Structure 1
C-alpha cells in the first residue's frame, strides 16, 4: 500500500475512534463508528486475495448491521426522551438494542461468529489492529452507558463469551483463530465486571492490549501463522519460542504472569459484592483457555526432536526486523504481577 494512503487510512481510523470516545452525542458517536469502519476496510484487504476480500466483506456486513442497530436505538431514545445525550438512556428497549449493537461490534457471544473468520482471513498486522484498537470505541461507549444497561443481559453475554472463547479454541491449529477466541474470552471477562467496577474493566483492557500486541509482534517477526510453523521456530531461535509460549500462558491467566492479575482482581471484586457462583463458573471456564494454550506449548516445544534437522528447520538467517520495542512489551506482558498490591490500594 502507498505510504501516503496508509497514513491517511490510519489517521482516519484513529480519528473515528477518538470521535467516539470523546463525544456525548449519539449521532456523532455513530459518525465516529462509520469513519472507523470504512477506514479499516483497506487495512483488511491489504493482501489482495479472495480470503481477505471475504473477511473484509464479513466485517463490513457485521459492523454495518451493528451501526444500524445503534442508530435505531439512538433515534428510539430520542423519540422517548427528546435528547441525543448518552448519559440518559431511559427507554429500556433502546438500552437493550444499544447493548446488543455494541456487543456485536466487540464480538461477544452470541454475536461472535465473525471474529475468528475475519481474523483468519487477514494479515497479522491487520489482526493486531482488529483485536486491540477496534475494541476501544465500543468499550468506551459501554463504559458511558453502564448505569442504563441491563445487568442480567451483560452477565449472560459475558458468561457465554468466556465459555465459547474457551471451547472454540480447543481444536484449532491456526494461531490467528486461537488469538480470536482468546479475544472473545477476554472481552467476556471485561464485560462481566463492568456493572460492579468499571475501573476494573479498564485495567483488564490496559493489560489485554499489550499482551495481545506483543504476541502478534512475535508471530509477525517469525512469520508464523500455524502451530506447525511455530514448532520450527525452536530450531531457529529457541529464546523467541520460549517467549512466545510464556506470552501464551500469560494470556491464559497462569500465575505468576501478568495475565493472572486481571482475573484475580475481577474474582476478588465479585466476591466483595457477595457474588460467589458467577466467579466460580468463570474461573472453571477459564481453564479451557488455559488448556489450549498449554496444548500449544506441548505440541510446539515438548514434541520436537532435540536436534537441528535441516530438512525440517528454517535457515538460520538473522532477522532484519528491529526488535528493540519488544523488550518493554514483553516485560509489561509477563512481569506486572508484583504491582498488584499498588493496584489494589488504588482501587
Structure 2
C-alpha cells in the first residue's frame, strides 16, 4: 500500500521521540510496542515462508520482552508507588527489566533469535532492526545503568563477544554473519555504558553507519553466502572495494572509523582498573576479526579461475554503487568526524562507577 511506508516511518520517529523525552516506564513500554508493530509489516512485506517465519519469531521474542518490562513496572509500582524509571528501586524489578532489555538488543544468553530473524528479512528492515530498533532499549539501559551490577555488565559483554565470534567462525550465510557481528558489536556498546555513556553513543553511531553501508553493499551485489563473494570483484570492483572498507571498519582495524570506539573503550576500561575485562574483550574480538577477514578475502583478495570466454550467469549483472552507499562508506571509514567527537569526549571527565 502506498501509505504504509510513511505511516511506519512516522510511527518509528514518534516512538524515538518518546524514548528521548520520557522517563515514564509505561509510556516507554507503549512506545516499544508501537515500534515493534511498525516494523512487523516491513519484515513480512514479501509473502515468503522465511519472511513470515522471521516476523513470527521476532514478534514472539519482542512480546516476551515487553511482557517482562511491564511486569517489572508493575512490581516497582507495588513497592514504591511510582512508574518512573529513574525511581526503580526494587531489586526484583530491576533484574527483570535488565533481562528484558538484554532480550530486546539481542545479548547473550538471549541472542539466539537475532540470526534466525535476520536471515529471513529484506535489507531495509534488517538495517532498521540492527540500528534504529535498538535505540529505545539502549536509552532505557542508559537510565538504569547506575542500578545494574557492574559484574553483570562485564559478564554479559564478554560472553556476547566470545560466543558471537565463536559461532561465526563456521558460518557461511552472510546475513547470519552480520547478525553475529551485531551481537559482538553490542557487547562493545554496553561494556562501557556504566563508565562513559557518551562513549556508548559514539560506538553505536559508528556501528550503525558501518553496518548500514555493509548491508546495502551486500544487497547491491546480491550476495547471500560467502561463496558468492568470490565472483564479486569480477562483477563490480567498485562495490567490492566499498564492501572491503566497510568490513575492515566494522572489524575495528586502524585507521578506519571502527577502530576509534574500540580504542577509546579499551583506554577507558584500563583507566577504570578493568584491565582484565579490556584484555578479554580484545581476545574475544579476534574471533570476529577472523570472519571479517574471511569475507574480505573472498570478496577482494582472490579471483576465481577464468579460462573461458563464454558468458557466465554471474557476468550478466554488473551492480554499481549508488550515492547512498558511497556516503555511508565514506562516513564509516573516515576518522574526521569521529576525531571531533573523540576530542569532545576526552574533555569531559566521566565519573567512576560506584
Q: TM-score range by the shorter chain?
A: over 0.9
Instruction: Say which is worse superposed, 125-134 or 322-331, in terms of deviation.
Output: 322-331
Cα distance in 2, alignment partners of residues 318 and 86 from structure 1:
48
Q: Is the 8 A contact 1:96 1:150 kept in 2?
A: no
Cα distance in 1, alignment partners of residues 73 and 243 from structure 2:
43
Aligned to 1:279: 278
Residue 141 of structure 2 corresponds to residue 136 of structure 1: no
Instruction: Say which is worse superposed, 207-216 or 228-237, in terms of deviation.
Output: 228-237
Cα distance in 2, alignment partners of residues 157 and 240 from structure 1:
36
3-state secondary structure, aligned to 1:79: helix
Residue 339 of structure 2 corresponds to residue 339 of structure 1: yes
- Cα offset for 1:85? 0.9
Alignment of 1:93-112 (within 5 A): 93-112=92-111
Alignment of 1:1-347 (within 5 A): 2-305=1-304, 307=306, 310-311=311-312, 313-317=314-318, 319=320, 323-336=322-335, 339=339, 342-343=343-344, 345-347=346-348
User: Judging changes above 3 Å, is the alpha-carbon distance between structure 1 residues 80 and 136 closer, same or farther for their aligned structure 2 residues?
Assistant: same
1:110-138, Cα deviation, whole Å (9 max, x unpaired):
00000000000111111111111111000
Cα distance in 1, alignment partners of residues 344 and 334 from structure 2:
14
Cα distance in 2, alignment partners of residues 230 and 318 from structure 1:
13
- Cα offset for 1:54? 0.7
1:82-114, Cα deviation, whole Å (9 max, x unpaired):
111111111111111111001100000000000
- Cα offset for 1:342? 2.3
Cα distance in 2, alignment partners of residues 164 and 299 from structure 1:
23
Cα distance in 2, alignment partners of residues 266 and 296 from structure 1:
25
- Cα offset for 1:333? 0.4
Cα distance in 1, alignment partners of residues 347 and 17 from structure 2:
27
Cα distance in 2, alignment partners of residues 333 and 171 from structure 1:
26
Dislocated runs of 4+, deviation >6 Å: none
Cα distance in 2, alignment partners of residues 184 and 38 from structure 1:
23
- Cα offset for 1:306? 6.6
User: Judging changes above 3 Å, is the alpha-carbon distance between structure 1 residues 201 and 268 closer, same or farther for their aligned structure 2 residues?
Assistant: same
- Cα offset for 1:184? 0.3
User: Judging changes above 3 Å, is the alpha-carbon distance between structure 1 residues 18 and 225 closer, same or farther for their aligned structure 2 residues?
Assistant: farther
Q: Is the 8 A contact 1:20 1:30 kept in 2?
A: no
User: Judging changes above 3 Å, is the alpha-carbon distance between structure 1 residues 301 and 74 closer, same or farther for their aligned structure 2 residues?
Assistant: same
1:182-240, Cα deviation, whole Å (9 max, x unpaired):
11001111111011111111110111110011111112222222222222221121121
* Root-mean-square deviation (Å): 1.8
- Cα offset for 1:21? 2.9
3-state secondary structure, aligned to 1:3: coil
Unaligned runs of 5+ in 1: none
3-state secondary structure, aligned to 1:224: coil
Q: Is the 8 A contact 1:88 1:148 kept in 2?
A: no
Q: Report the TM-score when normalising by structure 2.
A: 0.92
3-state secondary structure, aligned to 1:189: helix
Cα distance in 1, alignment partners of residues 347 and 333 from structure 2:
21
